[in-house]
Structure 1
Amino acid sequence: MAHITDTEVFQAFSTYATIVILKMMLMGPLTGYFRVTRKAFANFEDTHMGKTIEEKKRMIRVNEDVERVRRCHQNDLENIIPFVVIGLLYTLTGPDLSTALLHFRLFVGSRFVHTVVYVMALPQPSRGLSWILGMVITFSMAYRILTTVLLL
């Protein structure tokens, strides 16, 4: 196992996986920021900014900006977790460093583009294309795993 963690591919994967995991983790505070600035909360106990019960009740609402960031965070969970699991297995197949770096960099770039496009509500197909790129990268790594170690 020590040999695997010493490889440049594993070190590159660790770097890029950490970047996207941190990006995903920052989506929670970003959602909170949007909730506070838009005064749109999901739970009554979060409405401490309201002075009266009526003000607090008005803050329990759905806001499109908050929902947009929340959906972006959900999309991160649905895509980054598979990337990390499949990427880890991919590093065990001994890919060329240049090919692995291409996979990792394109995935990370696609997730950052996806987030900016989603949060800023930029027109399609920009969000769809960035999502597709990330999925293709993850499927490409999965294909390499299956063709390298296929034991069916």
Structure 2
Amino acid sequence: MSAFTLENPVFRDFAYHGTIVLLKMGAMSFLTAIKRFSTGAFVNREDFIGKKPKEIVPSESVERVRRNHLNDLENIPLFLLVGLFYVATNPEPSQALLHFRIFTFSRIMHTLSYQIPIRQPARALTFVAGVGATVSMAVHVLRTLH
């Protein structure tokens, strides 16, 4: 059986959690747009629809969403690539599911702690949990291949 079929429970769980974090990452673009329209903080003069363009001033709430989105762009693709290698090593299904759940939960909690905002170390802890899950999978891949 190929590791990359829906008959493989590890791949099925990976595809499920990978889709969740990709949708979450994509939603950040829409959240950025919502924040821009609600604050009037546009970055291009032509974006001031129906208004006379004013000085372009950054908005803390827009920048907070953008930084959160950038963090997703730095972490989610890495998880997805390492996760594919990890699935190929035929890991124990319950252990794999734990890695996928930790990463998914950590990214959702990271976003909530960033956007609410929740005082540190909340965001840092959620970040470390997600990175830890990815690193743990990477170590498993390297050990399996060596």
Q: How high is the TM-score relative to the length of structure 2?
A: 0.96
What is the root-mean-square deviation in Å for CA atoms of aligned residues? 0.9
| 1:49 Cα deviation after fit | 3.6
Aligned counterpart in structure 1 of residue 116 of structure 2, from 117, 120, 144: 120
- In structure 2, the CA distance between the partners of 1:49 and 1:126, relative to structure 1 (3 Å rule), is farther
Regions of 4+ moved over 4 Å: none
Specify the structure having the higher radius of gyration (Cα).
Answer: 1
Write out per-residue CA displacement over residues 90-134 of structure 1, whole angstroms, 9 at most, x where no aligned residue: 000011110000000010000000000001121000000000000
Alignment of 1:3-152 (within 5 A): 3-4=2-3, 5=5, 6-50=7-51, 52=52, 56-58=53-55, 60-150=56-146
Q: Secondary structure at the match of 1:84?
A: helix
- What amino acid does structure 1 have at the position aligned with 2:10? V
Q: Secondary structure at the match of 2:54?
A: helix
- Whole-Å Cα distance in 2 between the matches of residues 140 and 11 of structure 1? 19
| 1:3 Cα deviation after fit | 2.0
What is the identity percentage for the equivalent residue pairs of Structure 1 and Structure 2?
45
- What amino acid does structure 2 have at the position aligned with 1:132? V
Q: List runs of 5+ in structure 1 lacking aligned partners.
A: none
- Whole-Å Cα distance in 2 between the matches of residues 102 and 140 of structure 1? 11
- Whole-Å Cα distance in 1 between the matches of residues 68 and 60 of structure 2? 12
Q: Secondary structure at the match of 2:19?
A: helix
- Whole-Å Cα distance in 1 between the matches of residues 41 and 109 of structure 2? 26
Q: How high is the TM-score relative to the length of structure 1?
A: 0.92
- What amino acid does structure 1 have at the position aligned with 2:54? K
Q: Secondary structure at the match of 2:89?
A: coil
